[in-house]
Each structure stands twice: as structure tokens, then as C-alpha cells.
Amino acid sequence: MFFETELNYHDEECAPQCWVLFNGDKILTLENKGQVVLSDVELNKLKLKPVRQQYLGRLNDRSYYVGELAPDAAAPEGVFFCGLRRLLGQVPDDLFSLAGKAYHLLHWDRTHQYCGGCGARTENKIDEVAKICPTCGLINYPRISPAIIVAIIKDNHLLLAQGRQFRGKFYSVLAGFVEPGETFEECVQREVREEVNIKVKNIKYFGSQPWPFPDSLMVGFTAEYHSGDINIDKREIVDAGWFTAEQLPLIPTGGSIARRLIDWFVNECRE
């Protein structure tokens, strides 16, 4: 789903509007439809009024916005609020991508109400998606936090780990945030070394996925085992081991790049 994101407020006022709405960290969804995008007509019928909004872009002659409802806003009949993760793998990828972008920008809007340089209240920049300080001129763009995620192969086995922060007792491939001054490949090597104490080689780019929890970009890689024995970092990892395609533990559900990497491994083993 590709949006035109150049701001033109005159055109946006004339175009039909579509909305993605949040109450706190939960997205508004129409019951039994999985619908998270509302037209301006539907918005008015439900008598919902956002307390703040951000422009998402333009698609098929429609302007899209994300809006935040007041904390005490009640869900109208036929509507409920659910966590964004709940939609992962349950709605089409392009719809989840739109919902994710909406939450990402809304989180940025919430956390940049004041200037980090002088403390003055910020304003929306009129010609691009950015916050500008009217006092000192500091500009803040939406924050994106890059992270790597990697599938490591050893003799037709895949390295999987159970992280302490996981919701549930499933296993997944290793991941971690990029640090200042690192390349993605250096981050792969460091994270793997820190979390399970092994070395990898032949690091190859796999793909990427925006991960709006709240503002990450997951950059996926594959790699081959080089040396070392598994010795987990117990602060972050509960357990880790090598698994065959036929004996996988509980793994993430569909929709995530983690699952795509695991599915890639399974398909490679079948060929």
C-alpha cells in the first residue's frame, strides 16, 4: 500500500477522508468485520471526535488520517478497541501496514509535544510530517528504531530462543536493536555473540518489516553458524537450541518477519 505523503492541505480538505482511530494503545475496530478504517461519514455517525490527529497520506483520491480519542471515550455499539498485535496475521498485510503506520505516527505525536532542545511546545510543520519548535526552530521527524532479526543455520538446524520478554512460551529467531556506529552486519554479529555466545558467517539480507511496537524497523538476515557453543545471556534468554524443520517448538504466528524467516528455513530444508 503506497501513499502519496507530500502535504497539500488545500487538496486534503477537498478529498474524502478516511480514519484510523486509537484509544490509548488500542485500535478501534468494527465488530465481526475486522474493519479498522472508517470514512468521515462513518466517523460522524458514530459521533467520535479525535482530540489530535496526524496525516498519513493519500491513496486513490482519499486522504488518510490517524486520530486519537479522549481517554474516557466509550466504544459505540458495534465497535470495540483491541491491541494492535491482535490484528497481526488476522487482517490483510496492507491493512496491518496501514494500522501500524498510524500507530507509529500517533506514538511519535504523543511523545514530541515539547521541544527536546528548549522545552517549548512544538507545532506540526505545515509542509512535511515533522514537529517544529516555534522558539528555537528544532525539527523532529518521526522516530524509526532499526533492529536486526536473523535466522542462523547449522547442518539443517535452526537456532531458536525463548526470550524473557516474549508473551507466551514460544521460540523465535534472535533479534536486537542497532547501536550507534554499527552496520547491520556488525549488529548481527554482536547480538548473536551477546545472546548465545556463538559466531556466525555468510550474513545475507533477507527482507524487512515495519514493526510499530512502537517505532521499530525490523531488518531480516540469514547467517551460517561459524563457531562456539551456546551459552545464553540469562537476563534476556530463557532457553536456546538447534531445531530441525520436523521438530520445531511453539513458534510465532503468521504475519511477522520472524515467522517468515522460520518458514524460509522449513522450505529450504524441504528442497
Boundary residue ending a domain (95, 125, 142)? 142
pLDDT tens column, 116-166: 999 999 999 988 899 999 999 999 999 999 999 999 999 999 999 999 988
Domain count, the chain: 3
Evaluate if residue 6 carries a pLDDT over 90: no
Residues 223 and 183 in one domain: yes
pLDDT tens column, 76-108: 888 999 999 988 888 888 889 999 999 999 999
On whether residue 92 sits in a domain, the answer given is yes
CA atoms within 13 A on the CB side of 230: 16
Residues 101 and 19 in one domain: yes
pTM: 0.90
Instruction: Fill in the DSSP letter of residue 181.
Output: T
On whether residue 1 sits in a domain, the answer given is no
Mean pLDDT over all residues of the chain? 91
For residue 133, the enclosing domain spans 112-142
Residues 74 and 116 in one domain: no
Boundary residue ending a domain (64, 89, 110)? 110
CA atoms within 13 A on the CB side of 32: 2
On whether residue 263 sits in a domain, the answer given is yes
CA-to-CA dists, residue 270 to 124, 212, 228, angstroms: 52, 33, 27
Residues 124 and 207 in one domain: no
On whether residue 2 sits in a domain, the answer given is no
Q: What percent of the chain lies above the pLDDT cut of 70?
A: 93
Boundary residue ending a domain (91, 110, 129)? 110
State the CATH number of the domain containing residue 248.
3.90.79.10
Give the separation between CA 12 and CA 15, rounded to whole angstroms: 5
Residues 265 and 149 in one domain: yes
Residue 123, strand partner residues: 132
Tally helices (H) and strands (E) across the chain: 5, 15
